[in-house]
Structure 1
């Protein structure tokens, strides 16, 4: 189960009979961040790791630990590396030309257009 405290409590009440003995293990964004502190995880990635932990059907056999958090995060990042992004043609052309000039001359007189194109590319990648 993945959700807010209220959603999890409502699910428990709907799913289990009051008085039923059970154990609930809780993972929070902070727990995921602690397990992946050396990986520079974002809050959005932490939320996605939590969602994936909730769907992990092997948790009884293998548990959820630092290694499983790393694996989920690595899979999330790999998925984002192969996704398609959109960038306007002007920005893409600017980046291509800038990369070509950088290779040939080692620099650019006015970096503002390049910086704007790079900023737009970053926005496209983060969608």
Structure 2
């Protein structure tokens, strides 16, 4: 899909985390023909960075949030579920780059829905 503007969300647990996550983001965008945009970085375990990402998407600057892997959503399972629910409620598209889960397609949306109902 051309014209898609992507925002990278990274969660940092060590000094090398950002570079690898940014490379995965750039490759995912290039493979899909998307415009790779800014990065929202999360340090720690709260959801403040997610609120910033949601504001950027809801303002119309971006169309999709891209994370490296599902575990980059948050550092705990309850945190990951809270981030997924936040994105779902806000109507924000999510791409999990390494496994290709995209909430814009029925399979990806179904996977996220099943995680939220467990």
TM beyond 0.5: no
Which one has the bigger helix percentage?
1
- Greater RCO (CA < 8 Å, at least 6 residues apart): 2
TM-score normalized by the length of structure 1: 0.23
TM-score normalized by the length of structure 2: 0.24
Larger radius of gyration: 1
